[in-house]
Every structure is written in C-alpha cells, then in structure tokens.
Amino acid sequence: MGRRLLTCLTSVAVGLAGLVASASSQAEGSAGYTAPSPRQHVDLDGGWRFVRADAAGAESPTFDDSAWAAVTVPHTWNAKDGEDGGNNYYRGIGWYRRHYTPPPTVAGQKLWLQFDGADTVTDVWVNGTHLGQHQGGFARFRFDATDALVPGGDAVIAVRVSNARDAGIAPLSGDFTMFGGLYRDVSLEVTDPLSIRMLDYAGPGVYLRQRSVSSASATVDVTTKVWNNSGTTRHTRVRTVVTDATGAVVADTSTATRAVAAHTGDQVTQTVSLTNPHRWNGRADPYLYQANVELRDVDSGAVTDEVTEPLGLRSFGLAPDSGFALNGSHLALHGVNLHQDRLDQGWAVSAAEHTQDFDLMDEMGVNAIRTAHYQQSQQVYGLADRRGYLVWSEIPVINSVTDSAAFTANAVQQLRELIRQDYNHPSVAFWGIGNEQGQDNAATNALLKTLADTVTAEDPDRISTYAHAGGDGSNLITHTATAGFNKYYGWYGGALPDFGSWADTLHANQPSRAIAVSEYGAGASIYQHQDNPPTPVWNSGWHPEEYQALFHESYWTQIQSRQYLWGTFVWNMFDFASDGRNEGDTPGRNDKGLVTYDRATRKDAFYWYKANWTATPFVYLTSRRFTDRADATTTVKVYGTVDSARLTVNGAAVGGAVTSTDHRYRWANVTLAKGPNTITVTGTRGGATYTDTATWTYTPS
C-alpha cells in the first residue's frame, strides 16, 4: 500500500531541523500592509547571440560571436525539427552569449544569475569565469555571479547548453521531444549580502507548512532560511506578516534577535494561527492569503530582504473507497495531462500562452492537472493556485533507469528541486516520482524507494504517487502512498468495456489501495472522419475524430460510476510533439489531445467533457468537420447541457424535441439531400435558446 498515511494535510516541509522562534500573534481585520522591496529583478531575456553547435573558446569574453544569430529568450533550437517526425531532431550543444553591464548602484550587493529552465546540461561563464553546471532540463537554477560581474563594467555571459542524452541524467527517454535551449526566462536577481537563502535548490527560502486547517482555525509553521554572505556577524530578526486577499493583515509575528556569523546560515520556524480561515477550496473558491517574510538587520534597522509566497489554506486526503477529499468533502478530480510545448515553438512559450491553456481548461471544466512528465514553469503552478486546480507534479524518471550512483543522485536532485521550488503552491497535492518503468527489477525498485523516502523527508504532508503501465501486481507501485494507472483499452489493445472490469477487479483484489487513472486517451485528426468507426490501428495514418469521441464517451461513462477512482487524467489536453511518432495526419505528433497543437480547434471530445464537467448551457454538433459525405443517411449526435434540443436539416424539422440524461442528443436515420445541407440544432434551457450549425455536403458515389 505504501509507507505513508493517506490522510494528508497541506504542504511544505523542508526536511531540515528548524527552531520555533516565537509564538504568533493575530491581527484579524487590521490595516493593510505593503511589503518592502529590497530585491531587484533584472530581465535578461533580450540581446542574446546563438549558435547551434559547439564553439571552442566561446566562454572567453574576447570570442567573436558576430556571425551568430540574434535571439530572444525563451528560445529552443528544436522548434521545427523537433516536431516534424523522423526522430532525428538535433540533440547536441548550443551556445548563447550576451553582454550586460551591471549598474554602479549594485555595488556591495549579491548578484545571482537565474535560469528558469534550460535543457538539459547547462554550463555558465561570466567574463571567462565558470560559475557552475546544472544537470536537468526542467527546474529553475541559480549561480552566484557576484565576483564575476563588476558594477559599471561590461560583462559577457556565455552559456553552453546540451540536450544530448546522458546516461546519468533523467529522463533517458520519453514519448515526447526533448527541446534544447534556454527555453524559459533568464534574469539577474540582486540581493543584500544578508538575505533569505538563494541557493536552497533555487527554492524561495521560505516554506509554509500547514500543521492543521479547519473551518475554525489554521496553524502554519513558517520556516525561513537566512544566509549571511557578508564578512561580519549580523544580528537579525525575521518578521512574518500574513495578509488576506484584500491586503489586510491577519497575522503578524517576529522573532527575537539572532546572531548569524559571517558566511553562514540560520533557520527559524515561526508559527502563525488564524481563526475562522477562508479556505482554498479548489475551482469553487481558490482563495489565497499571502505570507510576507521580512529579514531585518537589527543593527541598522533596515529590511535587507523580503519574500512573498502564496498561502492557500486547505486540507486534503485519500480513501480507497471514496476517493479524494478537499477540506473534508469529496471532490471528483476531473483531470488532464499537460505538456508544455506549442506548435513551431517547442517549450519556448510565453506567460500569455500558459494563460490561454488555462482558459481552455477552464472552459472544459478541468479541475486537476498532471504536469506530465516533468516540472513546469512557475507560471503554471501560479495559475493553478489562482484558478483552483489540484496538481500532480512529477519528475522525469521515465521508461528506464541507469543503475548508477550518478543517476540516483540526479533523480533525487530533480525531486528536491521540484519540491522546494513548488512547496508553497496550494494547488500541488501530489509528488510523482516516475512514470511507466519498463522493468520491475532490483535497480528500479531501489531507486523508486529512495525517491519515495525523499518525498517523505522533504514533505511528509503531501501524497507521493507513481504512474504505472504494467501489471497490477508489480512491485513498482508499492513504494508510494498511492499510484495511478495508464490505461488505453480500446487503443493499444483490448476493448473499451475492458476498462471498467479492470478497475473493479483491481479494487476488489487490493481494497486498501487508493487508485487513480493517470492516463487514458485516443488519437484524433480533425481532418479524418468516419461514421461508426471501428478501433483504428493506433500507429497507422488513420485516426478519425469520431473514434476519439466514442472512446471518451465510453471511458467517462465507466469512470463516473466508480467513486473509488480518486482521480482520472485524460491523455492529453493538447496535441504535442513526439518526433519519433509517425501516425495520424502528421509525423512527429501525439494527437491524443482534446485541443489541436496550435490551440485553434477544440475536438469533439472536448465538448463531451464540457457537457459533463460544467454547467455552461450550450449545444454542440459533433462531426461538424465531416463536411464531405458519401452516404445519404447518417446519425446526428449533439453534446450539450440543455433541457431539450430540436434538429432541422435545410430548415425542415427532423422529429420533435429530444431530451437526454447523459448529455448526448441523437437523431438516427437523418437523410441528406444531394449537395450542401445546413444542419442546425437548437437547445432550450431555462427559457434561453442555444444554437449550433454545420454544413455537410452529400455527393453520391
């Protein structure tokens, strides 16, 4: 069953001993608070030169890069070849260089180069000085650049990135393209030498552990890691101010004065308590407080650093029979898997594009996401916090492992980065340690046990999980508190009804195990259509959109009657690049998305879930893109949320009003006239009318 209790309260433990500095005081309903801003953030996304090759000596400030391409970060060198099929996209070395002159005002400050994401191995130099190397393609990382950057002087920042496969770094493989480059933002972070710690796996240095949360009260331990980078002892005081959504102070507490020796750190834990807290309650009410932590130099009286983190007060848990509960109430997790790439962009996406993705998920009624198969942008987790999504976030231990100390150390590093960087996001409920390992052997199980133990040490309050594609009796699913199963009956084999019988058998045979469905789905081309299609050959060029809709109709019908499935996650929300695939209408693409790769078209199955997962009134004509017809007789099927619907063909009514108990409205044996036919469905609900129209052209063969 796993080594941890399934009933969990919220987040944040750093796995390190901390001192409780003082009791909290509450200032419910007091005046507003404005956080000080001693830090500076400098955007370094512009002004880069790039070459997709190794370049001997490019770390030198005198190197001539005038022939290189001018680029702006976020950037990837696989935007085209990583999505066109053939499994031959460039996996190697690329170089980036840019000039930067720190202003004289940063003299005496600490200067940190921050990379929000670079794939996979990144080396950084400033003026020829090697700052360090980061291994892993998905986490934020920072280097101390203070000694290499001279205020007022020109500096050359040189970055060498390689997305080549490395046996010591996860993932070794995956059914998606590994886009190389500096594909997230780059910045310079400027802090006082006395600051909240910057090099704690690039985490915020402030960690909010919710000890108890109920409608009556909430207790939160606020652990702050302080670091004194100056050459003398500093006397410090940490103040934590919790503010509500209006900015009013609801808790305010300070530590006693503490001495922090030169070039050492300190850690304090403060406890704050709130009465009658406004809880974060998923999509229904994603209410957020903020925890504002100030670090003060007692001798000068100055606030030298400040960090603000989201605080969503909630409790959650799992039960083998009743599934997931949020704040003590059952919540069915209507989830999707989410990759981070875009058509012709790869992983180099903008904040606005992440927002568009959430807008589409909001429209469909999604309330949970799995960030398959890797840590995603802070923008994704921030949007999930603010919009009320529950998140399963995982590291890229995929398909296979290397039985080596280096691979284990890298997997643990990526897991610690994931947990510490995302610790304070109330949306995150699950830490995933891997996906679809192909071998149930000693090396794989040893690694998974190490990773599960790391979750427990880092964050004993959240739920560890693993996504499994093998047999139900596998040892691979025994290390985490729960497991998800990737099931594709009716696509990669078997028949659609097999899903329900599999789930019931597993639940009956292992009644104490809480189980989820971490993946299920089928491919679909919006250009390929067929009435009543049989199961396609999955790796063929024929993926009719109608079959995907039938697949999801069948699965959701089976899922919704099985409350013991604590969460189910459609594979996938959006089409995405997998350069090794050659199927459907486009080489290099996994077309199981409910929305096309360019986000321009919602497939029929999107509206099936919208009908089941939202109360939005609408009607939608399925097979609307099946515009050229060879048969005169067809069935018209509509998804919707209306009380009744009526159909007209070329202005003539077809039968009477149709009602539905399952959001499907059907008219069989509808006859099309030769040539174009205007198909119109009109639904009514609460006195309002909703209409959808398509044009189908019948051409006799």
How far is residue 91's CA from residue 88's CA, in Å, rounded to a whole number? 8
DSSP annotation of 476 reads: G
DSSP annotation of 260 reads: E
Cα angle: 112, vertex 118, 123; to 5 degrees: 65
Helix (H, G, I), strand (E, B) or coil at 173: coil
Where do runs of H (alpha helix) occur along 89-135?
A: none
Cα angle: 109, vertex 110, 115; to 5 degrees: 140
Show Cβ contacts of residue 494 under 8 Å, excluding neighbours closer than 6 positions: none
Residue 253, φ and ψ in degrees, nearest 5: -145, 150
Dihedral (C-alpha) 318, 323, 329, 333: value to the nearest 10 degrees?
110
Q: Residue 238: beta bridge partners?
A: 295
How far is residue 6's CA from residue 318's CA, in Å, rounded to a whole number? 5
Residue 634, φ and ψ in degrees, nearest 5: -150, 170
Q: Side-chain half-sphere of 614: how many Cα atoms within 13 Å?
A: 20
Residues carrying an active site annotation: 436
Element (H, E) at 95: strand 93-100
DSSP annotation of 283 reads: G
Residue 545, φ and ψ in degrees, nearest 5: -60, -30
Where do runs of H (alpha helix) occur along 400-544?
A: 405-422, 442-458, 498-509
- State which amino acid sits at residue 619: V
Show Cβ contacts of residue 473 under 8 Å, excluding neighbours closer than 6 positions: none
Residue pair 30/246 in contact by the 8 Å Cβ criterion: no
597 vs 265, 343, 362, 576, 674, CA distance in Å?
47, 6, 18, 6, 34
SS3 content of the chain, % helix, strand, coil (to 5): 15, 40, 45
How far is residue 367's CA from residue 361's CA, in Å, rounded to a whole number? 8
Residue pair 414/121 in contact by the 8 Å Cβ criterion: no
Residue 353, φ and ψ in degrees, nearest 5: -75, -35
How far is residue 456's CA from residue 152's CA, in Å, rounded to a whole number? 47
- State which amino acid sits at residue 428: V
Helix (H, G, I), strand (E, B) or coil at 110: strand
Query: Any idea which residue has 């693993």 for tokens?
Result: 466
- State which amino acid sits at residue 231: G
